Structures are given as C-alpha cells and as structure tokens.
Amino acid sequence: MKQRLLTPGPTPVPEETLLEMARPVFFHRSPEFREMLAEVLADLQYLFCTKNAVVPLTSSGTGAMEAAVANALPAGSKAICVSAGRFGERWRNLCKAFDIETVNVTAPYGQPVPPEQLARALADHPDARAVCTTLSETSTGVAHDVAGFGKLVAASSALLLVDAISALGAMECRVDGWHIDMCVTGSQKALMLPPGLAFLSVSDKAWTAIDANSKPRAFYFDLKKAREKLKTSDTPYTPAHTLIRALRVSLKKIRAEGIENLWARQARIARAARAGFQALGLELFAARPADGLTTVKMPASIDSTTLLGKLEKQYGLKLANGQDNLKGKIIRLAHMGYIDQFDVLAGIAGVELVLKEMGHPVEPGKGVAAAQRALAESVKQG
Amino acid sequence: MKQRLLTPGPTPVPEETLLEMARPVFFHRSPEFREMLAEVLADLQYLFCTKNAVVPLTSSGTGAMEAAVANALPAGSKAICVSAGRFGERWRNLCKAFDIETVNVTAPYGQPVPPEQLARALADHPDARAVCTTLSETSTGVAHDVAGFGKLVAASSALLLVDAISALGAMECRVDGWHIDMCVTGSQKALMLPPGLAFLSVSDKAWTAIDANSKPRAFYFDLKKAREKLKTSDTPYTPAHTLIRALRVSLKKIRAEGIENLWARQARIARAARAGFQALGLELFAARPADGLTTVKMPASIDSTTLLGKLEKQYGLKLANGQDNLKGKIIRLAHMGYIDQFDVLAGIAGVELVLKEMGHPVEPGKGVAAAQRALAESVKQG
C-alpha cells in the first residue's frame, strides 16, 4: 500500500534529497564544506527574509529555542510568554528552567492571542527583556499575528523571540520586516529534511543583548562562539554535515520557486484543506489557522484516535492526533514542504471514507470537490 | 579517482547504511519507532558494556558532554580535569562555562596522564565531585588508562566522566567494568554513521548525583526528562530519527562480530598502522596510542599540510592534520568503523609515495610490508 506521511513534522522528504542523504560522507573541516555552508547560509537568509546571520545548530528546534533564551536573557530577567498551545508553553518552561521570570499572556487552545493583549502586557511590564511566541502553533494549528506583535515589540526594549518551526517556508514570515529578533526553525517541517538541524536568526538588537549578557548559560549552544566560527563559514562543533548538504537541495527548490510564490501556493493549499473539511460538516479547530497544517474537530461521536488508526491501516494515510488533552478530539493534517495540494485531496478523501465507515453521515465526494473548487478559484484563466 | 576518507571523524559510512538513510521518512511518535528505539538502546548497552541506560541525544558529542556536566555537577562544585589534548581541554572549558571549579591534571600533548597523577589530585581534592577525562584523545592519538582511573575514582565519591567519542567501538572500553559513571560517544566515529547523534551512559552513582542536584542547568539536555521518556522508549524532543534507524544497521554489525572480537581486530589494525609508519623511519606521536587512530610526527623537512594536500589531490586519500599548534607537524590516520586493515595499507602506501616525491628518503614498500607482517602475525595458522 502506498504510504503518505501527512503529519506536521516529520514531513516527507523529496526523493532527490533522500538520494543526497545516501551520498558518501565527506570531511567537514575543508574549503569545500565551508563553501557549501556559505551557500546554504545565504539561502537561509533568503528563506528567513533577513539580512542578519542565521545560525545552524545540530539539534531539534527546541535546542535553537534554548540557544535564544540561554544567550540573550540573563537569570532574573523577565520575559512575556505569548502562548496558546503546547509549543508556546515550551518557551515558558524554557524560561523557568533558566531562572527567567515569565509573564504569561495566553489564549485558550484553538484561539490566538490578539496583539492588544500583548500591548497591555508590554505596558504593564516595561522591564520585560523579551516577548516569546509561536508563529504557527503546531499543537492547535493556530497562527499568531506576529507582524502585529512585531510592531509593538519593536517600539519597546524587549526582543521578539519567535518559534516558527512549523511556519517558516509554510506561510508568510518576514523576519526583518516583522521585527523578529530571534526566529527559530527546524529541518523536519517545510524544509523537507529529516530532523536533526535547527536554525536561529539573530538581529542586531539581539546581538547587543547577547553581548551585554555577561553570564550566558550556553556552551554547546553558545551563539557568540557560533558567530565567530560563521565568519569563516565554520561551526564550533561537528555539525550534522550530511544534512546540511541535503538542505542545499531543499533551499535551491525554495529559491527557484520564489518565497512569495511559495507563500501564495501554501495559502492556496491551506484554503483548499479548510474548505474540504468544512464541506464535510466538520469544524475547524483553529480560529486563526496557520497555512502549514489544518486542525479539525471531530464530531462528538467520533474518536480521532480510532479514525486515524483506520486511515493509517486501511489507506496508508498518516495524519496526526491532538496532543495531551486534545488527543482523540482533533486531527491534524499537514500541508507543507513536500506535501502538495493533491496529497491534501488524498487526506480529505481518506477522512471521508473512514467517517462514512464509522457511521458518521457524510456525502462522499463533497469534501474533495469543495477542496478542488477552492484550488480552482486561484487558477488564472485564459 | 577513488576517494578514501581516513579521518578520525567523520568516518566513511557503509553503503547499506547510506541506503538506509535514503529510505522514506516516517512518523516518530509511533509504536514502530518506540520498538526500534528500544532495540537500538539495548544494542547501545551492549556496545557500552553497561547494564545502565544509554541516553540518545540529537547533537554532536559535545552536547552529550554538556549533558553530563550540566545535570550532574552543581555550580560552585569542583571537578578534576585529566587532560592531554584539545578534547580533554573541552571538559575544562565546559566546566568553566558552568561555574565549576577545575583542578587541572595534565600531560604534554602526545603523552598520557598516568593514573598516579590522578591519585595525587584525588588525595588533594577529596571534595571533587567529578573526574573528567578522555579515553582516546583524538587530537593527539593518545589513549588514557581509563581502567586505572576508574579504580581510583570508584574508591572516591567523585563521578568518572569519560569522553569516549573516538574510542567506543574502536578499542576496549568497559563502562561498568571500569567504573565509568557517564560515558559519551558520537555517531560519526566507530558507529559508522554521519554526525548528528550523541550517546551518554549514566550509572546509578551518576543518577544519584543528578537527582541530588536541585539546580540542573539543562533543558534540551535535561537527563531526568530523558529518563522519564526512555521508560516508554521515547525522547523528550524530536530526535534525528532517521539516523537512529541507520544506527540500528551499525549496531547489528557490531553485535554480529562481537564486541571483544571487534576490539581485537581494531588492536591488530592499530598495531599494523604503527608498524608501517615506524618502518618508514617515522616517529609515532602518541606515547600510549589509541586503537582508533594513529598519529605520526613528520620529519623536520616535511610540512604535514603539504603532504596531506598531495595525498588528497593525487591519491584521493583524506587523512587529518594536527590541530592548532600541531598543524603542519603531525598526520592522523583513522582506523575505526568502516575503515579496515586494507584501507590502512592504502593510507601508508600513499604516505610512502608522497614522502618520496617530497624528497624524503624512504624505501617504497617498506611501510606497507611492515604493516602487512604485523597483520600476518595474528593470523592463526593451520
């Protein structure tokens, strides 16, 4: 049976990148590797829409989040954590682990935190050193108005730290344009790679904070050391260099398409996914949905764990469940990276078939037709 | 031209493991992945010769060293750093970064620190919480007598932290038998994988120290969180799971050969490498050589950078230079993982040819013949 990986990370890796991963291993302290890394770093700047350095780290995205907190925020400082899901909460837990006082600005799961709520927190806490948030909250499928947050934070002395792990390359994200000081992503989402690499952009404002921090709590994630090494396109410790070679393939694809074209294509696929599920009478879970995944509430009679099990076993479709309290209640369909519009049609088709099998009243074809109509709306005629 | 990667990390990856890396990506929060991880963790215990848990981390080996220090040693505590090279110094720098007072027990580059020197330091510093050292010092090719260190440290209240990054699977290393409390390795040496994964064994004595440490300085590298997740063969953050799948291939090879047979084979290859270089009139740099690499001093008239450049350009042989002050003065030939005895012959043959070309008096054939005789000595007749 043909398998389709439609989870919001890891995502499928293009066949040519897989073949890149099968190429012989090479020595990394060489002019050839430095040349390749320099090229990849320039392409990462393009992806991030930033003129600033993007630091590659060999870790999961959480490692890059730790790098941001541990380098830029001294113990005893204060951070505003804007959180509406499990990954937003990760910033909070990270800050706690590093003795940073957190001001929690939250919204219920499925809702975004509106910028006005952050504005009040910034007014109440002018001593906050950072605002930590999530662009695409992978646990709920909600997108935050990070452009709105950025305007507020730029007017303060705080840094804006953004987890864009399931967002970068899957939806609009303008690091410089939105005043994001430290933006994090990982290799296993829209970058079409296996997990193992994380990336962190650092603005001038963030470097100033890092340089002023006399007691960074970082060694492996020491950004000053990374900055020094990046001057010669090198890394402080042995990087996952075969992944960096594979990353080059993904970044070339993104450059060839053009980042704004990519965002538009992603937005179109996301609209189709939402239209498809809604046409089945299902409710979207995210009030302000991200473009890289669609989260859908299950009807009261349907346990999502059962539905997802059937999708996988009977149709080779691997979608994700809700996490923690949302387990059994929602499903999460990814559409980023190497998952395209027709994979989304397959996902919706599978959900139609399994809902029907489970006795839920659906009219087969209604979901896929609605998704297809949404796709067709953006096709230029003539 | 055929390329041979003979550097002490990264090392070549077997073709079948490369193909494993090219297999489609899968979802990691699944029973299938947990089953695979459980199998890999059991095989890692076999490799480490330990009954204790081995924690997998997505990072370079330095990340696992940080995990050891940050979890087990509180700020303000004291550690004895037994160091005779660049990687031993990494422990010292790590301890400094984590506000741990270091007592430095050193030997000149090329020499090992004898156990007696550690015994004196332990007697002088009964309050030391840890002894940090390196089994195979990759920068000099020296092996420490970690079995000897272990006997001393086991009789104290200190923990024994060992960097075995270029040693584990390349030479004898008995974690439990030698009383090593925290032993670190990485994927890109004798484990025949690309870089990206690190592993850390943790003894009961180490867990007691970790549990007693009320202020661990770790989040991404939090070992208590890892221990909790490992109970269900899971990881706290997204692991480099395709590398874990590939690791299974390497570990099966090691189990099939048998760890003691592997050590014996490695020792034999190392003896052959040493005999070959010595027969060329070259001097070994390491007074107590490790079995995973051979370091050789260049004659005064030969710059190793030039020699290595010619080896690579003319013969496709990639050996490593000395680092820092040793650059230009030594060469480092690896023989671990997927580098076998005949690859070593190729390395020696290349050095013979280039030395001759550079005007150094060598008798071509003398090195490879001596290496071959050393190999033959351990062939059972009959």
Helix (H) or strand (E) holding B349: helix B341-357
With 90 as the cut, is the pLDDT of residue B216 above it? no
Q: What is the C-alpha separation between A154 and A115, in angstroms, rounded?
A: 13
Q: What is the C-alpha separation between B375 and B112, in angstroms, rounded?
A: 26
Which residues does chain B have within 8 Å of residue A12's beta carbon, measured at their own beta carbons? 24-25
Q: Does any domain span residue A76?
A: yes
- Are residues B102 and B96 in contact, defined by beta-carbon separation less than 8 angstroms? yes
Among A5, A25, A195, the residue with its CB nearest the CB of B12 is A25
Among B13, B60, B238, the residue with its CB nearest the CB of A195 is B238
Please indicate if any CB of chain B lies within 8 Å of the CB of A75: no
Which residues does chain A have within 8 Å of residue B320's beta carbon, measured at their own beta carbons? 27
ipTM of the complex: 0.95
Q: Do B195 and A22 touch (CB under 8 A)?
A: no
- Are residues B138 and B87 in contact, defined by beta-carbon separation less than 8 angstroms? yes
In sequence order, the β-bridge partners of residue B320 are B332
Which residues does chain B have within 8 Å of residue A92's beta carbon, measured at their own beta carbons? none
Show which of B195, B228, B257 is a domain's final residue: B257
* A107 and A200, same domain (yes or no): yes
Q: B-contacting residues of A 320-379, CB under 8 Å?
A: 320
Read off the DSSP letter of residue A234. -
Tokens of B99: 């506000």
In whole angstroms, what separates CA B116 from the centre of its chain? 24
Give the dihedral sign, CA A146/A150/A151/A157.
Answer: positive
* A194 and A290, same domain (yes or no): no
For residue B12, the model assigns a pLDDT of 97
Residues ≥6 apart with Cβ < 8 Å to A55: A64, A67, A199, A200, A201, A202, A223, A226, A227, A230
For residue A157, the tally of other CB atoms under 10 A from its CB is 13
Show which of A208, A235, A257 is a domain's final residue: A257
* A247 and A280, same domain (yes or no): no
Mean pLDDT of B128-147: 98
Nearest CA to CA, how far is B217 from chain A (Å)? 7
Please indicate if any CB of chain B lies within 8 Å of the CB of A10: yes
Q: Do B243 and A24 touch (CB under 8 A)?
A: no
Percent of chain A predicted with pLDDT > 90: 98
| A5 closest CA partner among A315, A262, A297 | A315
| A156 closest CA partner among A120, A197, A110 | A120
Q: Do B318 and A59 touch (CB under 8 A)?
A: no
Q: Does any domain span residue A373?
A: yes
* B159 and B293, same domain (yes or no): no
Helix (H) or strand (E) holding A131: strand A130-134
* B102 and B206, same domain (yes or no): yes
With 70 as the cut, is the pLDDT of residue A353 above it? yes
Q: Do A18 and B18 touch (CB under 8 A)?
A: no
Angle at A59 between CA A57 and CA A61, to 5 degrees: 90
Calculate Rg over the CA atoms of chain A: 21
Mean pLDDT of A314-329: 97
Using one digit for the tens of pLDDT, what is the confidence trace for B20-39?
Answer: 999 999 999 999 999 999 99
Show which of A214, A242, A257 is a domain's final residue: A257
In whole angstroms, what separates CA A373 from the centre of its chain? 27
Among B9, B22, B97, the residue with its CB nearest the CB of A21 is B22
Domain extent, residue B119, equals: 15-257
Q: What is the C-alpha separation between A53 and B262, in angstroms, rounded?
A: 44
Q: Which of B16, B60, B324 to mutate to test the interface with A (most CBs of A within 10 A)?
A: B60
With 70 as the cut, is the pLDDT of residue B338 above it? yes
Please indicate if any CB of chain B lies within 8 Å of the CB of A98: yes
Q: Do A27 and B19 touch (CB under 8 A)?
A: no
Q: pLDDT class for B328, splitting at 50, 70, 90? A: very high
Please indicate if any CB of chain A lies within 8 Å of the CB of B194: yes
For residue A382, the model assigns a pLDDT of 62
For residue A379, the model assigns a pLDDT of 78
Q: What is the C-alpha separation between B319 and B308, in angstroms, rounded?
A: 7
Q: pLDDT class for A72, splitting at 50, 70, 90? A: very high
Mean pLDDT of B190-199: 98
Long-range contacts of A319-323 (CB under 8 A, 24+ apart): A319/A6, A319/A7, A319/A347, A319/A351, A320/A7, A320/A8, A320/B27, A322/A139, A322/A295, A323/A86, A323/A139
Residue of B nearest to A95 (CA): B219
* B188 and B277, same domain (yes or no): no
Q: A-contacting residues of B 235-264, CB under 8 Å?
A: 237-243
Using one digit for the tens of pLDDT, what is the confidence trace for A127-174?
Answer: 999 999 999 999 999 999 999 999 999 999 999 999 999 999 999 999
Please indicate if any CB of chain A lies within 8 Å of the CB of B19: yes
For residue A357, the tally of other CB atoms under 10 A from its CB is 12
Query: Which alpha helices (H) appear in chain A, and where do they start and end?
Result: 15-21, 31-48, 61-72, 86-97, 115-124, 146-154, 204-212, 223-230, 241-257, 259-279, 304-315, 341-357, 366-377
Q: pLDDT class for B382, splitting at 50, 70, 90? A: low
Q: Does any domain span residue A382?
A: no
CATH of the domain at B112: 3.40.640.10
Q: What is the C-alpha separation between B162 and B141, in angstroms, rounded?
A: 16
CATH of the domain at B355: 3.90.1150.10
Q: What is the C-alpha separation between A192 and A171, in angstroms, rounded?
A: 14
Please indicate if any CB of chain A lies within 8 Å of the CB of B64: no
Percent of chain B predicted with pLDDT > 70: 99
Q: Do A25 and B3 touch (CB under 8 A)?
A: no
Q: Does any domain span residue A342?
A: yes
- Are residues A314 and A354 in contact, defined by beta-carbon separation less than 8 angstroms? yes
| B239 closest CA partner among A112, A10, A262 | A10
Give the dihedral sign, CA A227/A233/A238/A244.
Answer: positive
Q: What is the C-alpha separation between B240 and B199, in angstroms, rounded?
A: 12
For residue A378, the model assigns a pLDDT of 77
Q: Do A238 and B318 touch (CB under 8 A)?
A: no
Please indicate if any CB of chain A lies within 8 Å of the CB of B188: yes
Q: Does any domain span residue B235?
A: yes
Among B10, B217, B241, the residue with its CB nearest the CB of A27 is B10
Q: How many residues does chain A have?
A: 382
Q: What is the C-alpha separation between B199 and A305, in angstroms, rounded?
A: 33
For residue B379, the model assigns a pLDDT of 78
Nearest CA to CA, how far is B12 from chain A (Å)? 6
- Are residues B113 and B142 in contact, defined by beta-carbon separation less than 8 angstroms? no
| A171 closest CA partner among A3, A66, A286 | A286
* Tokens 């963030």 sit on residue: A206
* A115 and A246, same domain (yes or no): yes
Which residues does chain A have within 8 Å of residue B194's beta carbon, measured at their own beta carbons? 25, 240-243
Buried b (16+ CB within 10 A) or exposed e, B110-147: bbbbebeebbebbeebeebbbbbbbbbbbbbbbbbbbb
Which residues does chain B have within 8 Å of residue A97's beta carbon, measured at their own beta carbons? 218-219, 222
Which of helix, strand or coil describes residue A124? helix
* B319 and B308, same domain (yes or no): yes
Q: Do B22 and A22 touch (CB under 8 A)?
A: yes
Please indicate if any CB of chain A lies within 8 Å of the CB of B222: yes
Q: Do B240 and A194 touch (CB under 8 A)?
A: yes
Provide the mean pLDDT of chain B. 97
- Are residues B137 and B165 in contact, defined by beta-carbon separation less than 8 angstroms? no
In sequence order, the β-bridge partners of residue A142 are A137, A289
Mean pLDDT of B201-207: 98
Q: Do B220 and A24 touch (CB under 8 A)?
A: no
Q: What is the C-alpha separation between B221 and B101, in angstroms, rounded?
A: 21
Q: What is the C-alpha separation between A366 and A348, in angstroms, rounded?
A: 10
Q: What is the C-alpha separation between B163 and B301, in angstroms, rounded?
A: 35
Residues ≥6 apart with Cβ < 8 Å to B18: A21, A22, A23, A24
For residue B371, the model assigns a pLDDT of 98
For residue A99, the tally of other CB atoms under 10 A from its CB is 14
Q: What is the C-alpha separation between B135 and B137, in angstroms, rounded?
A: 6
With 90 as the cut, is the pLDDT of residue B153 above it? yes
Q: Does any domain span residue B382?
A: no
Q: What is the C-alpha separation between A78 and A130, in angstroms, rounded?
A: 7
Q: Do A219 and B97 touch (CB under 8 A)?
A: yes
Read off the DSSP letter of residue A272. H
- Are residues A175 and A199 in contact, defined by beta-carbon separation less than 8 angstroms? no
Nearest CA to CA, how far is A376 from chain B (Å)? 31
* A170 and A69, same domain (yes or no): yes
- Are residues B68 and B200 in contact, defined by beta-carbon separation less than 8 angstroms? yes
Calculate Rg over the CA atoms of chain B: 21
How many helices and strands, by DSSP H and E, does chain B display? 13, 14
Mean pLDDT of B33-58: 97
Residues ≥6 apart with Cβ < 8 Å to B35: B233
- Are residues A52 and A175 in contact, defined by beta-carbon separation less than 8 angstroms? yes
Task: Count contacts between A and B (CB, < 8 Å).
Answer: 151
Q: Does any domain span residue A122?
A: yes
* B241 and B349, same domain (yes or no): no
Using one digit for the tens of pLDDT, what is the confidence trace for A201-255?
Answer: 999 999 999 999 998 899 999 999 999 999 999 999 999 999 999 999 999 999 9
Q: What is the C-alpha separation between B182 and B173, in angstroms, rounded?
A: 12
| B332 closest CA partner among B164, B143, B139 | B139
Question: β-strand A136-137 against A182-186: which pairing, if any?
Answer: unpaired
Please indicate if any CB of chain B lies within 8 Å of the CB of A23: yes
- Are residues B223 and B201 in contact, defined by beta-carbon separation less than 8 angstroms? no
DSSP string, A139-174: TTTEEP-HHHHHHHHHTSS-EEEEE-TTTBTTB---
Please indicate if any CB of chain B lies within 8 Å of the CB of A13: yes
Please indicate if any CB of chain A lies within 8 Å of the CB of B318: yes
Question: β-strand A159-163 against A130-134: which pairing, if any?
Answer: parallel
Q: pLDDT class for B317, splitting at 50, 70, 90? A: very high
Number of domains in chain A: 2
Residue of A nearest to B236 (CA): A62
Among A9, A217, A219, the residue with its CB nearest the CB of B238 is A9
Q: What is the C-alpha separation between B298 and B307, in angstroms, rounded?
A: 9
* A88 and A121, same domain (yes or no): yes
With 70 as the cut, is the pLDDT of residue B228 above it? yes
* B71 and B186, same domain (yes or no): yes
Q: Which of A29, A66, A222, A242 to mutate to test the interface with B (most CBs of B within 10 A)?
A: A242
Backbone angles phi and psi of B32, in degrees to 5 = -65, -45
Residues ≥6 apart with Cβ < 8 Å to B2: B316
